A and B are shown apart, each in its own frame.
Chain A
Amino acid sequence: MYNILVCDDDKDIVEAIEIYLQQEDYKVFKAYDGEEALKILESEDISLLIIDVMMPKLDGIRATKKIRETSSIPIIILSAKTEDSDKILGLNVGADDYMPKPFNPLELVARVKSHLRRYTKLGNAAEDNKQVFTVGGLSINDELKEVTVDGNNIKLTPIEYNILLLLVKNQGKVFSINQIYESIWNEDAIGADNTVAVHIRHIREKIEINPKEPKYLKVVWGVGYKIDKG
């Protein structure tokens, strides 16, 4: 049972989120402006904060800044402002995630789970095994041929597994379709083939919360694919 604080000046949104989170057995605290949220954070043992940006009294950005002075709990910002500059600002002041409105409630729940798992379990999950590769919440145990995201087991086909392993092993490096093809199939890539691209999409659909905005397996359009260093 984790305590989650939801802060938004729109009561209906707060209540809807409460319903979803309660279904997942989280205890929800509600606040309707930044100041209220700060008060609850002081008095209660909160594990995660979901906060709106545009609010009266104290807005989400300034509240996040203040919270970060004393606390390291995961903070997910919700906002109708969807421009890159808004996202960058939110993440820079210390938020862990940024969800544009309107959001898919199930995605929000998934992200909440992911952040909580990382916040509470990471650290002791670090294994010394050289056959284990991790990037953020993504972990590949090459010995067991096992892939987990935030502790959840993911089922991948052998080719999908090999592609993911190649990218995870070479974190930060961009692989073009041909390079991936050649190293997985061990034969020359002839002509255009969307096989690799299709596999990549499938991998994303399996490991990402929102495949359209991948957290792990990223597309460098017109160049290739990569997994950022975790």
Chain B
Amino acid sequence: MPVKKYGVIKKAIALIIQMVCTAVLAVSIFILFSTFDKSMFKDGRLTEVDYFATENFQNDLTNELKGLFNYIQLRNSFETGGNYNLDKIVDIRDYMESGIITGIDDSGVSYTVRDLIEWGKMGIKREAVSIRDRSGRVTELDNAIKEEFYTVSGESLVTLYRRGTIDSLESFMQFQEDLEKTIKDLPEEVLNYKQQTTKYKNENTNLRYLVVCNSSLYTNVKLTDGKTTLEDIGKDIMSGSVFMHIESKPLLFESSHMDIQAEMYRSIDALKSFNNSDYSIYVSVDTSLPAADSLKSAHATYEKLHSWFWTCLVTGIASLIGFIITITYLTLITGYRDSNKKVYLNAFDGLYTEVAIAILVLAIVLIRYEVDRVYSASVAKTGTFYNVMLLGAVSFVLDALVLSGYLSIIRRNRAGTLYTNSLLYATTTPVKTAIGTKAITLRTGVLYILTMAAFTGLAYLAFGKQLQIAGIVFVFFIIIVGTFLIRESFLRKRVIDGAAKIADGDLDFKIDTNGLKSDNLLIAEIINTAGEGISKSLEDQIKSEKLKADLITNVSHDIKTPLTSIINYVDLIKREDIKDPKIQSYIAVLEEKSQRLKHLTEDLVEASKISSGNIEIVLTDIDFKELVSQTEGEFIDKFEGKNLELCTNVPEGSVHIIADGMRIWRVIENLYNNVAKYALANTRVYVDLSVSEDMAELSIKNISSQALNISAEELTERFIQGDISRSTEGSGLGLSIARNLTTLQGGEFNIYLDGDLFKVTVAFPLVTEEFKQENGRITEDNNDQTV
């Protein structure tokens, strides 16, 4: 497969396409959302709709009408007989409570609009006054409003208080407060009133209205001569395609847009002027929109943006597809330079994961904040186009930031550093290491504290009556602990089974450490290492035994050649007619020692081979009794020569055992040889063959000619003989060879010493049915078993 390169240019192009797509997508979505209207969705498909039929228009109209009603209330407040009246009396208490100016002095504390506006211009000053009530009680006020103007009745508040018109200190303080607020609010409202008057002038608004409220008539329609009654004028107004007509008596609502009814009533009811009286409202919209009001600009915006709707639908879908494709592509290749999938990280990826994320989040927040600031500062003087451009640019930049963060996370994940290069990891790792490696008591302690904390939390929740949460947490806790315990015990079983296997001798067995954690992992690893160690040391031991055996074999080869010459020439000297008895005795010594050397080398090779297990054992069916008879036939003369009386005791019938014929003969031969060499002359030798449940045991007892001042174990050690006899004919390897050979054939070999009594027992397993079936009786032609 050829290596595919993911060059920098390819990536850069993908990135730019991705960001452009994001910006376009954001703009498209914005435009789609701002121009989409429910009314466009008819019979399940999108259709073109006239502005006046849209919901947008309904909302615009509602807002426009609310403004109008508000204006009517302002007129009601500030006009007398349809004209702005500066002398209108403001009852500050009423004004504060209901927000309207009735022109009637109810509370006795009222000012003219003129005075209040004037006062507002001057600003409120404060002074310390001492006021006295009707009963003469004086109260010191160090922060009262300095009374620049008197009430319509020409009095100050202080006077009114003294007179008792203001009947309590609380009331006095309340009036002060109301006054302050009125002075602040009223000029604002006047300003508002003046603005609205301009706004709702005939040439400035596309609304045509006629409102009768509080027995006053408010309209921007010229009252023509022919139509004198309100109904006539109203009908005239309502001749347009967009209209509304509301009557309070009798209750009536008719409109080209019936959906706005609820909203209309709600806003009318919120206004005191309408609330407290009967009213008739006629409104219509001149759909040719001759005046440059908000409806016209809304219409223009709608028309302008709406022409983009279908374009944006297409660009939206296209950019969405582009977005998905590029993000998928970038997700797939980020961090790679070619299809070899080696992950490369950049400098940004080197930062801690949390730090990187924090930087990005900070950048995003800052940008958002900055955009808000710029947007709010410029919204008044800029249009839709500017907003759209701003949105696009912001999307572009935000996408670049989010994308770099996202791709960095993907790369980290790919390189496996998402977690390992995180602050969380960096801070918890030392703790984990400490927990993992320090004394188990520490870990247990931490676990204990955590468990206690969890239970304390539970108890807290439970006592706080948050039983449901406590219950859920508790069940969750139980499940986690249960899962943990079950998992742990399963894993521990695996470790135990593995350890048992190794203990059974399968030293090459390895416990699978996959999924093991903490303690179990540690134990498993220790066991595995121990197994390896034992296995290795065993191998080394076998190797060194083999090496030793080889060394002994090779050395003995080298000894044998000169030994051959010695034996031969000693024999040749012997054949010379030598008369001198002294020389004859020398020759005898030479002959004896050279023969002994010969036996020694032979035994040495055999012993080393047997002890290194370097021999082949062929197990067959052997008659132990026959073997004893055969052996005795071989040795009887030697025994008789030493005047040893052989007392043999064998059971009736044959005794079939499992052994290697040649090897068992070597064992028995060695034992008899031992007797022939070391038994005290003129004594009895007892040979007993007995059969137990599954073994046949041969015991040989004799009296040693030398004192046996060593242990039974030492006797079978190589080169050890009964001390003094070391200088006599044996090699000292006989018993060692016998013992090792017996063990190799699956038999048991034991030596007992009691004073001069030497007893040796060899036991071999009896032939089983199983063995018979597998091997059968030895065949007559089996030459391997012959000597």
CB within 8 A of B661: which of A16, A200, A213, A221?
A: A221
A121 lies within 8 A of chain B by Cβ: no
- Of the stretches B11-19, B54-62, B173-181, B561-569, the one at the interface is B561-569
Contact A103 B636 (CB under 8 A): no
Contact B636 A194 (CB under 8 A): yes
Docked Cα-Cα span, A192 to B661, in Å, equals 19
A220 lies within 8 A of chain B by Cβ: yes
Known contacts A200-B633, A221-B662; is-contact A102 B598 (Cβ 8 Å)? yes
Docked Cα-Cα span, A27 to B197, in Å, equals 160
CB within 8 A of B626: which of A83, A101, A106, A222?
A: A222
Known contacts A80-B560, A101-B564, A221-B665; is-contact A201 B633 (Cβ 8 Å)? yes
Convert A186-230 into 0s and 1s, putting 1 for each residue whose CB lies closer than 8 angstroms to a CB of B.
000001111011111100000000000110001111111110100
Known contacts A12-B569, A218-B787, A221-B665; is-contact A102 B563 (Cβ 8 Å)? yes
B780 lies within 8 A of chain A by Cβ: yes
Within 8 A of A (CB), among B600-643: 602, 605, 622-634, 636-637
B514 lies within 8 A of chain A by Cβ: no
Closest A-chain residue to B568, C-beta based? A16
A172 lies within 8 A of chain B by Cβ: yes
- Of the stretches A42-50, A110-118, A173-181, the one at the interface is A173-181
A78 to chain B, nearest CB (A): 8
CB neighbours of B598 from chain A (8 A): 102
Docked Cα-Cα span, A125 to B622, in Å, equals 39
Closest B-chain residue to A229, C-beta based? B781
CB neighbours of B624 from chain A (8 A): 222
CB within 8 A of B564: which of A103, A173, A220, A221?
A: A103
Convert B132-143 into 0s and 1s, putting 1 for each residue whose CB lies closer than 8 angstroms to a CB of A.
000000000000
Closest A-chain residue to B787, C-beta based? A219
B659 lies within 8 A of chain A by Cβ: yes
A17 lies within 8 A of chain B by Cβ: yes
Total A-B Cβ pairs within 8 A: 138
A82 lies within 8 A of chain B by Cβ: yes
Within 8 A of B (CB), among A45-74: 54
Docked Cα-Cα span, A81 to B550, in Å, equals 12
Within 8 A of B (CB), among A28-42: none
- List 28 A–B pairs whose Cβ atoms lie within 8 Å, in order of A's numbering: A10-B561, A10-B565, A13-B561, A17-B568, A20-B568, A20-B572, A80-B557, A101-B560, A102-B560, A104-B567, A106-B571, A177-B630, A192-B625, A192-B650, A194-B629, A197-B634, A201-B633, A220-B786, A221-B785, A221-B787, A222-B626, A222-B665, A223-B661, A223-B778, A223-B785, A224-B626, A228-B783, A228-B786
Within 8 A of B (CB), among A137-171: none
B664 lies within 8 A of chain A by Cβ: yes
Q: Which of B650, B782, B787 has the most CB of A within 10 A?
A: B787
B648 lies within 8 A of chain A by Cβ: yes
CB neighbours of B623 from chain A (8 A): 176, 222-223
Chain B residues in contact with chain A, CB under 8 A? 553, 556-558, 560-569, 571-572, 594, 598, 602, 605, 622-634, 636-637, 648, 650, 652, 657, 659, 661-662, 664-665, 778, 780-783, 785-787
Q: Which of A13, A223, A225 has the most CB of B within 10 A?
A: A223
Contact B626 A223 (CB under 8 A): yes
Closest A-chain residue to B616, C-beta based? A84
B113 to chain A, nearest CB (A): 136
Contact A197 B557 (CB under 8 A): no
Contact A226 B786 (CB under 8 A): yes
Contact A102 B661 (CB under 8 A): no
CB neighbours of B630 from chain A (8 A): 177, 197, 200, 219, 221-222, 225
Top 7 nearest A-B pairs (CB, nearest first) are: A197-B633, A222-B622, A16-B568, A218-B786, A80-B560, A221-B665, A222-B627
Q: Which of A10, A16, A101, A106 has the most CB of B within 10 A?
A: A101
A122 lies within 8 A of chain B by Cβ: no
Docked Cα-Cα span, A104 to B569, in Å, equals 11
A5 to chain B, nearest CB (A): 18
CB within 8 A of A222: which of B563, B569, B652, B659?
A: B659
Contact A196 B665 (CB under 8 A): no
A19 lies within 8 A of chain B by Cβ: yes
Contact B633 A102 (CB under 8 A): no
Q: Which of B568, B648, B662, B783 has the most CB of A within 10 A?
A: B568
CB neighbours of A192 from chain B (8 A): 625, 628-629, 648, 650
B679 to chain A, nearest CB (A): 17
Docked Cα-Cα span, A105 to B624, in Å, equals 36
Docked Cα-Cα span, A200 to B635, in Å, equals 12
Contact A220 B785 (CB under 8 A): yes
Docked Cα-Cα span, A20 to B571, in Å, equals 10
Docked Cα-Cα span, A7 to B653, in Å, equals 53
CB neighbours of A81 from chain B (8 A): 557
* Contacts A102-B564, A172-B780 known; 20 new A-B pairs at CB < 8 A: A10-B565, A13-B561, A20-B568, A80-B556, A80-B561, A105-B571, A192-B625, A192-B628, A197-B634, A200-B630, A201-B634, A220-B786, A221-B622, A221-B630, A221-B661, A221-B664, A222-B661, A223-B623, A223-B778, A224-B626
CB neighbours of A201 from chain B (8 A): 633-634, 637
A212 to chain B, nearest CB (A): 8
CB within 8 A of A177: which of B560, B626, B664, B780?
A: B626
Contact B605 A177 (CB under 8 A): no
CB neighbours of B781 from chain A (8 A): 172
CB neighbours of A106 from chain B (8 A): 571
Contact A101 B568 (CB under 8 A): no
CB neighbours of A100 from chain B (8 A): 560
Docked Cα-Cα span, A200 to B566, in Å, equals 33
Contact A214 B625 (CB under 8 A): no
Contact B634 A196 (CB under 8 A): no
Docked Cα-Cα span, A213 to B602, in Å, equals 15
Known contacts A13-B564, A214-B787; is-contact A196 B626 (Cβ 8 Å)? no
Contact A219 B629 (CB under 8 A): no
Docked Cα-Cα span, A9 to B515, in Å, equals 68
CB neighbours of B626 from chain A (8 A): 176-177, 222-224
B695 to chain A, nearest CB (A): 16
Known contacts A80-B561, A82-B602, A222-B664; is-contact A13 B633 (Cβ 8 Å)? no
B658 to chain A, nearest CB (A): 11
Docked Cα-Cα span, A13 to B657, in Å, equals 45
Closest A-chain residue to B633, C-beta based? A197
Docked Cα-Cα span, A191 to B602, in Å, equals 36
Contact B787 A197 (CB under 8 A): no
Docked Cα-Cα span, A30 to B632, in Å, equals 45
Contact B627 A221 (CB under 8 A): yes
Contact A193 B629 (CB under 8 A): yes
B51 to chain A, nearest CB (A): 113
CB neighbours of A177 from chain B (8 A): 626, 629-630
B689 to chain A, nearest CB (A): 8
Docked Cα-Cα span, A17 to B565, in Å, equals 10
Convert A121-141 into 0s and 1s, putting 1 for each residue whose CB lies closer than 8 angstroms to a CB of B.
000000000000000000000
Docked Cα-Cα span, A221 to B569, in Å, equals 36
Known contacts A192-B648, A194-B632, A221-B664; is-contact A174 B787 (Cβ 8 Å)? no
Known contacts A194-B629, A194-B632, A201-B634; is-contact A219 B786 (Cβ 8 Å)? yes
CB neighbours of B637 from chain A (8 A): 198, 201
CB neighbours of B622 from chain A (8 A): 221-223
CB neighbours of B625 from chain A (8 A): 192
B654 to chain A, nearest CB (A): 8
Contact A197 B561 (CB under 8 A): no
Docked Cα-Cα span, A226 to B786, in Å, equals 8
CB neighbours of B572 from chain A (8 A): 16, 19-20, 105
Q: Which of A13, A20, A102, A226 has the most CB of B within 10 A?
A: A102
A82 to chain B, nearest CB (A): 7
Docked Cα-Cα span, A223 to B621, in Å, equals 8
